[in-house]
Chain A
Amino acid sequence: MKSIKKFDYFTLLEKITPLIAVVLALLVGAIVIILIGEDPVFVYKTLFSNAIGNRDGWGNVLFRATPLIFTGLTVAFAFRCGLFNIGGEGQMYIGTFLAAWVGFTFTNLPAFILIPLCILSAAAGGALWAAVPGILKAKTGVHEVIVTIMMNWIAASLTFFLVLKFKAPATEAMIAAGVKQMIPHTSEIAEAARLPRLYTIFKFLNIDFPAYNQVNMSFLIAVGVAILAYYILWKTNLGYEIRAVGYSPLAAEYGGISVAKNIVLAMVISGAFAGLVGTNEVMGYKYRWRPEIFTGLGFNGIAVALLGKNHPLGVVLAAILFGILNYGGSIVNIFTAGRIPRELIMVLQAVIVIFVVISDEVVKRLIRQRRKIL
């Protein structure tokens, strides 16, 4: 049998199945657009040219990609240990709230302490929330899929309760405007806890970039964390053990690796990634915690991880692609005066997932057959 090296023709083919899936999904999307009675060429042109055709577009794309990088890493990292962490949503809620709480509570600390403290709190919150399903799985064997999803809903209730407890008082402007039913939100976090917008860096480098664009340092943190995830998984002893457990728990046990310990660690680290979403939303954008901030981000993380083949680099690229689709989709929605709903993008993303999964299997079988012939 021909040797299977790390980089040869066939493994390369396996790696581009996501592209095949995306192209197929866009075709399906085109069909749907035609059925609605719109012009797919116009739609796609609008989408892509606005999203990546100018700097403001790129800024928005990267801003939307940032939380997807985090939640994508969450799913991808856990998957490397053979675990399905679908609890990114809840881990995100808890971590983000904790970051916000630290941000508006310790207002006297200077930025160089407060910012790292908030970032760590975000990670810690997510890590703790993920530790529960991790420990349950390691000790009792109960399947993490259902437990993590239940924890999502519990986190939603818990954080809603906390928001009410730490509710920011209504401002005079609101009372004057007669706003009665206010979506509860927390106070703003201290100035010292806020992450600067990327605009400031561009300005420093004399690059022209719109000042109002929300993309902020959190994007750089996300990329950094992706690099960290890569490093952990492939350059450390911990990653060696986690991936060994993911590939073959029996062989790992035989090799002296503690399967239970690594399950918990993998869940905890992946939860920390989800918690870090707070750096983008709270520390870099709205500067306060509101329940409506998150719309299915956790589940999109799954799509991003699958598309990115559970590899940190793939996750970053897939997150950017989804960011393009998200932002582009909202532009298209405006340009067609609402005739094309933004949710088309959600549907496209789900279709991408289904196609990724199917094309994976099809390509795997094709390769198996061709390898036999050679």
Chain B
Amino acid sequence: MFGDIFNAQFVASSIRVAIPLALAGLGGVFSERSGVINIGLEGMILSGAFAAVAFTNFTQNPWAGVLGAILVGILLGLIHAVTCITFKANQIVSGVAINLFSSGITVFFSWLLFGETQIMVKSNLPIWGLPLPNIGEGSTFVRNIIVMFAHYSPLVYLTIVIFILAHLIIFKTPFGLRLRSVGEYPQAADTMGVNIVKMRYMAVMTSGALAGLAGSFLSLEQAHFFVKEMSGGRGFIALAAMIFGKWTPFGTAGAALLFGFGEALAMRLQGVLAIPVQFIHMVPYLLAIFVLVSAIGRATPMAAVGIPYEKEIG
């Protein structure tokens, strides 16, 4: 029975669930590391999902869709940045406004451009086959995993590359050092000549780009269509993953995988145990609450997060 549940199919489905969470969560990492709370990830995912389908169907090229999703994400990130950094408005309210805006505008354009609210993707991303290493006498389980990996969407590989890059950027470059200082103790960074405003703008726009990319994975790869409200709370679960992952790229990825496992396991168990399907649907959200509560005290957010930066003039 163990083999029935934990097979390569299971791993694939966990990864599929995890990827949008991980990408959006990484977006949250960038934003919060600079000191800005981004509750608007949900709306950015949704808008990215729509943009991906819209651009794909108009150009018959799925890569245009991916690019479009990223651009739309950056745009929403810019709005959030202007509202929170330049206008010093309440960051949670701004994020909620972006979510509201995205809900409306995606369906609005859906009707306008396509005349309906569920839009099928007309041109799919290719499946990239990696050359298989010769494993020979490996276990079937391992072999199956490698086979699955050899046939993943390019976005999966892109995600892996992005995470490695993110880790290097945040922890090994001057940009990353300054980013981290701005979120923890902007006054100190200021006395060292770091441009607080510029860092925060870049961080928030990056978070938009990543959330947009997450959305494109959702609509182009996972569902192969766009339907309204398809982000389904992922933007918030991603925040929980970010917190559980202690605001690091690899930690967030791990937490996202945890959510992926949890959801995949719940789906598997539904066949085995007699739990009504609606309770299975609750699992990701219950898991997120559990994660948040358990992270209290263990994972400390950036000291200056959520506080607009005011230069202290005597």
* A–B proximity contact (CB within 8 A): yes
| CB pair A346 B296 closer than 8 Å | no
Contacts of A152 in B (CB 8 A): 233
The CA-CA distance from A343 to B92 in the complex, in Å, is 23
Residue among A303, A344, A358 making CB contact with B100, cutoff 8 Å: A303
Using C-beta atoms within 8 Å of the partner chain, give the interface range for chain A.
35 or more
Q: Which residue of B lies closest to A346 (CB)?
A: B104
Which residue in chain B gives the minimum CB-CB distance to A333?
A: B111
Contact of A346 (CB < 8 Å), options: B83, B87, B103, B232: B103
Residues B213-247 near A (CB distance < 8 A): 232-233, 236-237, 239-240
The answer to whether B94 and A351 have CB atoms under 8 Å apart is no
Selected interface stretch from B65-73, B135-143, B256-264, B275-283:
B275-283
With an 8 A cutoff between CB atoms, is B269 at the interface?
no
Give CA–CA (A267, B237) in the complex, Å. 22
Choose, from A100-108, A153-161, A231-239, A312-320, the stretch at the interface: A153-161
Q: Answer whether A150 and B108 are a contact pair too, CB < 8 Å, given A346-B103, A354-B97, A357-B89.
A: no
A149 touches B79 (CB 8 A): no
User: A140 within 8 Å of B by Cβ?
Assistant: yes
Residue from A146, A158, A299 within 8 A of B103 (CB atoms): A299
The interface centre, meaning the residue of A303, A344, A346 with most chain B CB atoms within 10 A of its CB, is A346
CB distance from B2 to the nearest CB of A (A): 28
| Residue A223 at the chain B interface, CB threshold 8 Å | no
Are the CB atoms of B281 and A157 closer together than 8 Å?
yes
Interface size on B, residues (CB 8 A): 44
**B286 contacts the other chain (Cβ, under 8 Å)?**
yes
**Binary contact readout B88-118 vs A (1 if CB under 8 angstroms, 0 otherwise):** 1110111011111111110110111000000
Q: At the interface, yes or no: B78 with Cβ under 8 Å from chain A? A: no
A138 to B217, CA, bound (A): 38
Question: Interface 1/0s, chain A 333-374, versus B by CB < 8 A?
Answer: 000001001011111111101100110111000000000000
B96 touches A349 (CB 8 A): no
Q: Which of B88, B108, B285 contacts A154 (CB 8 A)?
A: B285
A141 on interface, CB distance cutoff 8 Å: yes
**Structural contact, A358 and B233, CB atoms closer than 8 A:** no
A84 in contact (CB, < 8 A): yes
Contacts A341-B112, A354-B79, A361-B88; A349 near B282 (Cβ below 8 A): no
Check if A346 sits within 8 Å of B100, measured CB to CB: yes
The answer on a CB contact under 8 Å between B96 and A146 is no
| Chain B CB within 8 A of A302 CB | yes
A153 and B240 contacting across the interface, CB-CB below 8 Å: no
For the complex, is A52 an interface residue (Cβ under 8 Å from B)?
A: no
Assess whether A136 is interfacial by the CB under 8 Å rule.
yes
Minimal Cβ-Cβ distance residue in B for A150 = B285
Given the interface contacts A154-B282, A299-B100, does A149 sit within 8 Å of B94 by beta carbon?
Answer: no
Known: A343-B111, A347-B108. A146 touches B239 (CB 8 A): yes
For residue B239, which residues in chain A have a CB less than 8 angstroms away from its CB? 146
Across the interface, B83 reaches (CB within 8 A) one of A345, A349, A358, namely: A358
Q: Does B302 contact A (CB under 8 A)?
A: no
Kindly list chain A residues whose C-beta atoms are within 8 Å of the C-beta of B93: 302, 306, 353, 357
Q: Is the CB of B92 within 8 A of A84?
A: yes
B155 to chain A, nearest CB (A): 25
Across-interface contacts of A151 in B (CB, < 8 A): 285, 289
Distance between A274 CB and nearest chain B CB, rounded to angstroms = 16
> Which positions 261-314 of chain B face chain A at CB distance < 8 Å?
276, 278-279, 281-282, 284-286, 288-289, 292-293, 296
**A147 — which chain B residues lie within 8 A by C-beta?**
289, 292
CB of A178 within 8 Å of the partner chain = no
Query: Does B282 lie within 8 Å of A353, measured CB to CB?
Result: no
Residue ID in chain B nearest A302 by CB atoms:
B96
Q: Decide if A161 touches B279 in the complex (CB within 8 Å).
A: yes
Knowing A146-B240, A150-B285, say if A341 contacts B108 (CB, 8 Å): yes
A357 x B97 contact (CB < 8 A): yes
Report yes or no: A346 in contact with B108, Cβ–Cβ below 8 A: yes
In the complex, what residue of chain A is closest to B229 when comparing beta carbons? A296
Give chain B residues whose Cβ lies under 8 Å from the Cβ of A346: 100, 103-105, 107-108
Q: Is B39 an interface residue (CB 8 A)?
A: yes
Q: Pick the contact of A299 from B96, B278, B288, B292 — CB < 8 Å?
A: B96
Contact sample, A vs B, 11 pairs, CB 8 Å cutoff: A36-B112, A86-B96, A136-B289, A142-B293, A146-B288, A149-B233, A151-B285, A157-B282, A299-B96, A358-B83, A358-B87
Closest 9 CB pairs of A and B: A346-B104, A350-B101, A161-B278, A341-B111, A343-B108, A350-B100, A347-B104, A353-B97, A150-B285
A residues near B (Cβ < 8 Å) are 36, 84, 86, 136, 140-143, 145-147, 149-154, 157-158, 160-161, 164, 296, 299-300, 302-303, 306, 338, 341, 343-351, 353-354, 357-358, 360-362
| Apart from A150-B286, A341-B108, A361-B87, 17 more pairs, CB < 8 Å | A145-B92, A149-B233, A152-B233, A153-B282, A157-B278, A157-B282, A299-B100, A299-B103, A300-B100, A302-B96, A347-B101, A347-B108, A348-B104, A349-B100, A350-B102, A350-B103, A354-B101
